[in-house]
Amino acid sequence: MMQIRPARFEDLPALVTLERTATLAAAPQAYPSAASFPLTQHLAATESEFSDPWITFTVAEDAEGLCGWVKYTEDQLRHLVIADRMQDTDLRDQLYSEGLRHWRTGAVTGVRQWLLAEDWRARAYFETHRWVPTGRVRRSAFDPHPVLAEYLLTPNI
């Protein structure tokens, strides 16, 4: 049975490991191997963000363990990660709804996110959910510094 719940500190290594696996599948040109993904840097950043009271982490867990997570703030979707085995389920929608519910209750005028530019599956998903590319790009802070594309969800969330 699937459970969606707030993340706990002890979940963080599993979250980052899931992020690595999903990123390797979504952006093989940026991360051609597990060794190319800066796991230690991502774990340190995630631990730092976890202590920030303005950042919400929510996880999905089933009998096989953590299978997805979402991280968001008042006006940003920071991450939405789904295990490959869950791609053909509605888990992505369920986790996305957690952030959407939060943004609808606030006074937010727009929500921003940065996606891996080469992650066409994620880009297509968000574009079908009314996210619009802003045309802005930047490099990730993490090696090997892949290109990120900014998206905006407009006020009528």
Tell the residue number behind the tokens 């049975």, with chain if given. 1
CA dist., res. 112 & res. 105, Å (int): 16
What is the set of domains in the chain, with CATH numbers? Answer: 3-153 (3.40.630.30)
Q: How many Å is the Cα radius of gyration of the chain?
A: 15
Q: What is the pTM of this model?
A: 0.93
Spatial contact of 117 and 146, defined as CB atoms under 8 Å apart? yes
Joined together, the tokens standing for residue 86 give 């869950």
pLDDT in tens, the chain (157 residues): 899 999 999 999 999 999 999 999 999 988 988 999 999 999 999 999 999 999 999 999 999 999 999 999 999 999 999 999 999 999 999 999 999 888 888 778 899 999 999 999 999 999 999 999 999 999 999 989 999 999 999 866 5
Tell the residue number behind the tokens 């867990």, with chain if given. 61
Joined together, the tokens standing for residue 150 give 């900014």
